[in-house]
Structure 1
Amino acid sequence: MDTEERARRQAEAHRAATVLTGREVAAVALTFVDISGITRVKAVPIARLVHAATWGVGMSPVFDAFLSDDSIVAGRFAGGPVGDLRLFPDLTRLTVLAAQPGWAWAPVDRLAQDGSAHPLDQRSLARRQVARLADAGYTARMAFEIEWAAGVDRPDNDDFVPAVRGPAYGFTRVVEASDYLRDLANALAAQGIEAEQIHPEYAEGQFEVSVVAEDPVAAADTFVLTRETIRAVSQRHGLRASFSPKTVAGGVGNGGHVHLSLWADGRNAFADGEARYGMTEVASQFSAGILQHLPALLAVGTASAASYLRLIPQHWAGAFQAWGLENRETAVRFVTGSVGDQYRAANLEVKSFDESANPYLVVAGLIAAGLDGIGVGRDLPEPIEVDPAGLSDEERSARGIQSLPTSLTDVASAFEADDALTEAFGEQLATTIVEVRRAENARFANASDEDIAAAVRWKY
């Protein structure tokens, strides 16, 4: 980082600190997401914001080797006591937190002490993949769906007791939780988050927020901010929010579906072409790359042992490596949008992912996989128009439909063997992802489904 860049950051931070002081903000939470999908934080008082923005905040790289229970893997590139990096807040995303009076938030880039991107920094990786996409002549728009189960906060008991009793998608739940959902809607709006929908979902106590699509890195930032806003509003209402892939063993889990579209010259490549369903050829190739690399992508998109309690057939989780038009049982769903609105709304939905994922790794992985599909000219297979679970093994085999991996060990091996993704991520980050996934799998080697669900229920 050169002198001119430090001076720019310093001036920006001075302006921000003045505004925050006027709004009675006392401290800024600086967050990053570790490889296990846990949002970690350091906070600075307003008086130190200028220094933090100019010189960074010290942090050990050890957090890249944390498991979901805060135990640490002794890996090749992370997990030891030696080393340091700096957290630099991105003040373009600085947000006063509506549900945490006196606090603001900003995501960070984790840089080496010389100002270069740290090799294990996932946000920098996501930005590099966006730049690769731009070099190819495209931009992307992405959005994460956010599902959570709202439970009664019982300090003496970690069991899940749903906070509402109404039926799935029922207005009864909105009546029961109307003050809670109103305060959440207001908090999101006050923070500049544009929610498209807030509604009850299928599982007990479950709700969902859908937000508008943004630049991929911004979408990952918004995912983090939205999730923590939900958590804060829940706390103020005497509730506890679980974003775990399986809040209750045997129940319906929380997904973290990702919607994405590809754009060039102001036109949506998923709605402007002559390939199947109105895709352009490039959009088709991009989608084929994601589908092809999906087993390896699960190493970043389904990061918890509980993910594989959710990723099962006939739960709308996308347990098969297949795609289809508006097919909610295939891993990849093509969405056209309403007739007349396709130019804006057509997009690809990846259904297999959940909220144990690091969103920056998801962004980077999807773009890298899609670019590989374009680079090799990959063809999409035939779409699936039925529930794949309803086909016989022979029928699925004949149509090239494979079940997705069913454990962290399996997806770690798939990722390790995927040259396109490991090259895009770099040796240090790719290696650490594999080490963390295998260690998390070993942690639950003899655990029951109930034990797994209970262990991570409130970690996400």
Structure 2
Amino acid sequence: MPDMQDTEATRVSGREDIHVGIFDLDGVFRHKLMTAKKAGKLIESGYSFCDVLHGWDSAEATWDDAAVYTDRPARIYPETRRRWPFGPGADVMIADFTGDFGQFSPRNQLLRQLEKARAQGVDVTAAFEYEFFLLDETADTLRAKDYRGLQHFAKANRTYSVQSAAVHADLFDGLRDCMETVGIGLDSLHTELGPGCFEAPLAAVAGIRAADDAALFRNFARAHFARAGLTTVFMSKLNPALSGQSGHFHVSLQRDGKPVFHDPAAPDGLSRTALNFIGGLLRLMPEMLVMTAHTVNAYKRLVPGAWAPTWASWGVQNRTCAVRVINDTPESTRIEFRVPSADSNPHATMALCLAAGFWGIENAVDPGAPLASSAYEADPPPEARFPRDLVEAADRFEASETARDIFGDAFVDHLVRSRRHEVRDYLRQVTDWEIRRYLELF
């Protein structure tokens, strides 16, 4: 392969630098800036990156005591090339670990599921949609006030507000321009419930790009708003008085360009394949929930009254369920997985959804009748209930033979170990709630 600096695409664009990055377990894009010439050589000869990305937590505290933090073999994917949105003269490429160490990567696990789909002659189309808060805070002000007394941007915000859209038009036009530059389509952009709360559904795309778009959107949206002196919050639950932040996932399958989930002769227009896909997702999501609810905070959202599902349920156009079927037209018939929050790792979420759905198809799993009433008013069977916290979620994932069959022991054990570290760190903390509740009592 010739040096990338000499390729036609580089000459035409005039870009000379490449931001090469790998997503860690939390979906943070860990990157290095290099010349296009060097990137071209590394694509040809092989790339390497420090394995600390799979040995530290979200606060960059290492937890794998046995690790020596060496460089591991990796691969740069030139087909992921995009424009860098924060200035001329640079592009972005995604890389990931290979070999045995690559088994720990959610992105590699997703690629395996997409390969399974291709082997069956099936194409996958998908998209994420994100809710997020904007705070009128910077890294300096957050630390100065010890993360208390947070000031929201657009305090007078209302859901679907024309006023907020008009007042802050320049800021959000900038977000759209940023995403257009990096090749991420926004299906829409609107205000949501709560002060400084906004929603950005991403455009549906094919295959791995759906998860790549989602992960890059979060990373680049944070950077875009930081340049304006604002802090973007994708965490599941920011405040007990405010709604949780979702990261819903939409997916459909096609074969020879035709929608696999649609059957005009079936009830609700849903094919047997669609029903089995839903059945697999319902059956496996409780024991694999840690793949899409991987923070302690995520379980503060999955409770009654937080506009989020609480058990493995499904319904047609029913937003109280974990799985919502959208069947407006044959071509748009799709499954909306409503469990993920805005901080979920999109590659792990998509891998979970596809793996569980394909397992349901292979095993002809019947999802039962769709729920027409509110899922919050139902009395679900014990096996359909979600884990109550990250501890239980990690335990159930570790014990899942199906998870081990699908994703392999190495991935399961690694993810479980990382989540138990997260829990241990959390259990050492004393929260404001505990101080207010117990200080004057005991």
Counterpart-to-counterpart distance in 2, 1:277 and 1:448: 50
Out of 182, 206, 216, the residue aligned to residue 173 of structure 2 is 182
User: Does residue 1:38 correspond to 2:51, yes or no?
Assistant: no
Query: Which residue in 1 is equivalent to 2:73?
Result: 86
Counterpart-to-counterpart distance in 2, 1:451 and 1:88: 46
Out of 320, 345, 348, the residue aligned to residue 361 of structure 1 is 348
Query: Which residue in 2 is equivalent to 1:7?
Result: none
Is contact 1:184–1:229 with CA below 8 Å preserved after alignment?
no
Out of 101, 115, 122, the residue aligned to residue 131 of structure 1 is 115
Is contact 1:220–1:360 with CA below 8 Å preserved after alignment?
yes
Query: Which residue in 2 is equivalent to 1:455?
Result: none
Query: Which residue in 2 is equivalent to 1:218?
Result: 209
Correspondence list, 1:68-83, <5 A: 68-74=58-64, 80-81=67-68, 83=70
Counterpart-to-counterpart distance in 2, 1:204 and 1:109: 37
Shift of 1:348: 0.5
Is contact 1:365–1:421 with CA below 8 Å preserved after alignment?
no
TM-score normalized with structure 2 length: 0.89
Out of 410, 414, 438, the residue aligned to residue 420 of structure 2 is 438
Counterpart-to-counterpart distance in 2, 1:266 and 1:421: 31
Counterpart-to-counterpart distance in 2, 1:359 and 1:240: 21
SS at match of 2:313: strand
Out of 108, 116, 119, the residue aligned to residue 103 of structure 2 is 119
Counterpart-to-counterpart distance in 2, 1:174 and 1:387: 32
Is contact 1:271–1:278 with CA below 8 Å preserved after alignment?
yes
Alpha-carbon spacing, 1:363–1:154, altered in 2? closer, same or farther (3 Å): closer
Is contact 1:322–1:331 with CA below 8 Å preserved after alignment?
yes
SS at match of 2:53: helix
Query: Which residue in 1 is equivalent to 2:220?
Result: 229
Q: Which has the higher contact order (CA 8 A, sep 6+)?
A: 1
Number of paired residues?
Answer: 427
Out of 376, 389, 394, the residue aligned to residue 407 of structure 1 is 389
Counterpart-to-counterpart distance in 2, 1:104 and 1:450: 44
Counterpart-to-counterpart distance in 2, 1:126 and 1:440: 23
SS at match of 1:127: helix
SS at match of 1:156: helix
Out of 222, 234, 246, the residue aligned to residue 237 of structure 2 is 246
Counterpart-to-counterpart distance in 2, 1:131 and 1:70: 32
Correspondence list, 1:211-360, <5 A: 211-337=202-328, 342-360=329-347
Alpha-carbon spacing, 1:81–1:21, altered in 2? closer, same or farther (3 Å): farther
Alpha-carbon spacing, 1:136–1:430, altered in 2? closer, same or farther (3 Å): same
> Identity of aligned pairs, percent?
23
Please report the RMSD computed on the Cα atoms of aligned residues, expressed in angstroms. 2.5
Shift of 1:449: 6.5
TM-score normalized with structure 1 length: 0.86
Alpha-carbon spacing, 1:42–1:248, altered in 2? closer, same or farther (3 Å): farther
Shift of 1:15: 4.8
Alpha-carbon spacing, 1:242–1:20, altered in 2? closer, same or farther (3 Å): farther
Shift of 1:83: 4.5
Out of 38, 56, 62, the residue aligned to residue 52 of structure 2 is 62
Shift of 1:288: 0.8
Query: Which residue in 2 is equivalent to 1:389?
Result: 376
Amino acid of the structure 1 residue aligned with 2:422: E
35-44 or 402-411: bigger deviation: 35-44
**What runs of 5+ residues in structure 2 fail to find an aligned partner?**
435-442
Shift of 1:153: 3.0
Alpha-carbon spacing, 1:448–1:248, altered in 2? closer, same or farther (3 Å): farther
Counterpart-to-counterpart distance in 2, 1:266 and 1:354: 31
Is contact 1:140–1:260 with CA below 8 Å preserved after alignment?
yes
Counterpart-to-counterpart distance in 2, 1:419 and 1:44: 43
Alpha-carbon spacing, 1:242–1:82, altered in 2? closer, same or farther (3 Å): closer
Query: Which residue in 1 is equivalent to 2:438?
Result: none
